[in-house]
A = this chain, B = another copy of it.
C-alpha cells in the first residue's frame, strides 16, 4: 500500500519511533512493544501503530536493534522427509556462522494467543527462511518493517521480483522425467501433479506437456490428475488410473511420497514395477532408494537449496548486495529400477 499524499510524513521519509508515538498518541514504550512483538498492548493500539508503520514505513534507530544469532525456518507443515533435508541444509550453513536454527510450522494457525509472526519478532532473528509455504502479505510486511530479511525456498506462489528466493528447475525436471519414459517407448504416460496453484507443480506439469508435445505424443486429459502431496491421495488417483479401459503404462508422481502411493496401487492391482508399470517420483528423498524396486526420480537438491537460502538471508541481514535475488538450482534425473520399456500391448 503506498502512502496517500495527506498522510505521508514530510519528504516521504519513514517515521521514527518518536513520530509514530506522537501520531498514535501513545508512549514510545508502547510503540516499541508493538515493533518488538511484545503482547501486552491493547489490540486497537496495536492496530493503530501497525497501520502507521504500514503507511509510512518505520525508520530504525541509528543503532539498530541487535538481532539474536538465530535463523528462523518456517514450514507449511512438518511432515515427511522433506523438512529434514531442509533443516540439515540450513543447520550446516548456519553452523559456519554460529547461528541457531529455530524451526516452526504454520500448520498450527488455529493455535491460541499470538500468531506466528509475533513470536518470530519477539525472538529478533537475523532472518527468516520460509519453505514451500505461503506467508500472508501482512506477515511479510511485518517482517519487512522490522528489518528482518526473508528468503523463500521453493515458493508456493510467484514471489515477485522484490523477494529473494531459491528454487529448483522444476520445468526441466518434468521434461526430463517424461523424456526418459518416452525414450523407453511409453506413450500412455500419466501425471499425478501437485495443486496447480503451486508454481512448482505447474512448472513440472508444463515440462511434462512440453516433452509429450515435442515427441508428438498426445496428452490424454484423463491421464492428468490433480492431487496434493499426500501418499494416500496419490494412491487413490493411481487406483483410478489403473482401472481405466486404456490404462497408462507409466505414471509420473508429483513427489516421492506420491510414487509410494502409486506402488501401493500397483501392488493392489497385482501389477509388477517396472514390468507392468513404470513409475517416476520427484525429490529423491531417502525413501526413493529404499523403495522396492528403487525409484527412478528427479532429484531436487534440497540440502543445497536450503544452504543457499541461508547464505542469502545472512547476506541480506548484513546488508550485503545479493548477486541475484532468485537462485535456481538444477534438477537431475536419477534412473533406478522403477522404469522399463512398456509391456507389449494386449496383456
Residues of A within 8 A of B (CB): 68-70, 72, 78-81, 83-84, 87-88, 91-92, 95-96, 98, 100-105, 108, 111, 113-114, 119-120, 122-123, 231, 257, 260, 263-264, 267, 286-287, 290, 292-293
Contact = CB atoms under 8 A, between A and B. Distances in A.
Copies of this chain in its oligomeric complex: 2
A69 B123 contact: yes
B290 A292 contact: no
A103 B176 CA distance: 36
Contact of A102 (B70, B119, B231, B293): B70
Contact of A70 (B95, B111, B123, B292): B123
A123 B101 CA distance: 11
Given A80-B286, A119-B100, A91 B68 contact: no
A84 B78 contact: yes
A251 to B, nearest CB: 16
A264 B295 CA distance: 13
A119 B104 contact: no
B78 A80 contact: no
Given A70-B100, A104-B100, A260 B290 contact: yes
Contacts of A88: 78, 105
